[in-house]
Amino acid sequence: MLPFADAVGLTRALVRVDSRNPSLVPGAPGEAEAARLLGGVLAGWGFDVQVRDAAHARPNVVARLGRGERGAGTLMLNGHLDVVGTEGMTHAPFDAEERDGRLYGRGSADMKGGVAAMCAAAARAHAAGRVRGTVLVAAVADEEFESVGTRALVADLAARGERVDAAIVTEPTRLAIMPAHRGFAWYTVTVHGRAAHGSRYDLGVDAIRHAGLLLAELDLLDEEELPRRAAHALLGRGSLHASLIEGGIGLTTYPDRCVLRLERRTIPGESAAGAQAELEAACERVRARRRSFDARVALDFAQPPSDVPAEAPLVRAVAAALGAAGEPAPIAGMSAWTDAALLNEAGIPAICFGPGDIALAHAAEEWIPVDEIERAVRVLEGVVTAWCG
């Protein structure tokens, strides 16, 4: 058993567990072993622990501490246990090697260091008798794919009628407060043509060339129209890029089909439905010039943006805890998507704050500064004390 509230030791133990997401890496083990390890550690630290499947063999760890006194606050600390693949990594992915003040491994920054810090912070605040309310620690499955873990958690809280006042998702922010991030939407655009021998321009309709006409319209959307719209103070503007393209039959045949896969990053105030309308309007502009143009736009998957006001009580509480710990309190926008969006959508104000650098997430070299884990614990312990005490 780890020493009580040893955040660095817990980070090391979690990184040594291969918890690659099987929805991203076929045959990967998923979160079960990491969930069992964490559940056992938290039970030993005095938490009331539940390990429950969010999907088949994909468990969440939900643990609670505190006296639950009426009128005292309830705070959720949320993080994910799944990690992405390890192809191309320049160091052993699960050795948790430490050198030069860094702990290396897949998931060290994204985000097992944050999970360990939030667990240790809650345990220390409770051991000091400073949790009159409730602190709920949720280490969830599948954030890297479709977030079935946090979706199941939110549904369970609603079914139980359990109130949560606010949440901190301990994604890597380098100890900056990040109250907002973009959403995203994935679309498939299928452009239809007509197959014909390459010599029969009178019969063939070139789906690939027509897709090029649409891409030119989308380039104008991203380069000219989106920059003219009102930007978010922390996130800037929304964006659009073409991710994948496929089409064609052979060199001497007019292509009858071309498929584009697009990603639209949305800022607060934008929606997947609105972005789809933009794509369909671009198709209509091409069709107005080229009557043979035929395309269909389909939404494949979307996650919403997240936004909490910079003056919100939770932001102020984290800023105060940073100040008390002698740390600066920068406020910035998060570049990546996180489960904070789903918590906000469920009516739980959620921000991101944690150790590590998001730029190292999914990277060939992933590490977290060891001292930053402990600094995050001190700040989060202060937040728990202020919010739940």
| Catalytically annotated residues | 82, 143
**Whether 135 contacts 319, CB under 8 Å:** no
How many Cα atoms sit within 13 Å of 337 on the Cβ side?
20
Q: Which residue has the tokens 């918590």?
A: 343
In the chain, what's the furthest Cα-to-Cα distance?
A: 83
Strand-pair category, 74-80 with 166-169: parallel
Helix (H/G/I), strand (E/B), else coil: 41: helix
**Which token pair is 360?**
């190292």
- Among 240, 188, 217, smallest CA distance to 287 is for 217
Helix (H/G/I), strand (E/B), else coil: 186: strand
User: Hey, what long-range contacts does 13-16 have (CB within 8 A, 24 or more apart)?
Assistant: 13/37, 13/41, 13/96, 14/38, 14/81, 14/107, 14/112, 14/115, 14/116, 15/94, 15/96, 15/103, 15/105, 15/106, 15/107, 15/108, 15/112, 16/94, 16/95, 16/96, 16/105
Helix (H/G/I), strand (E/B), else coil: 211: helix
Q: What is d(CA 59, CA 322) in angstroms, rounded to the nearest whole number?
A: 32
Task: Report which secondary-structure segment, H or E, holds 39.
Answer: helix 32-44
Query: Phi and psi of 71, rounded to 5°?
Result: 90, -15
Task: Report which secondary-structure segment, H or E, holds 79.
Answer: strand 74-80
Nearest 10 degrees: Cα torsion 139, 141, 146, 151: -60
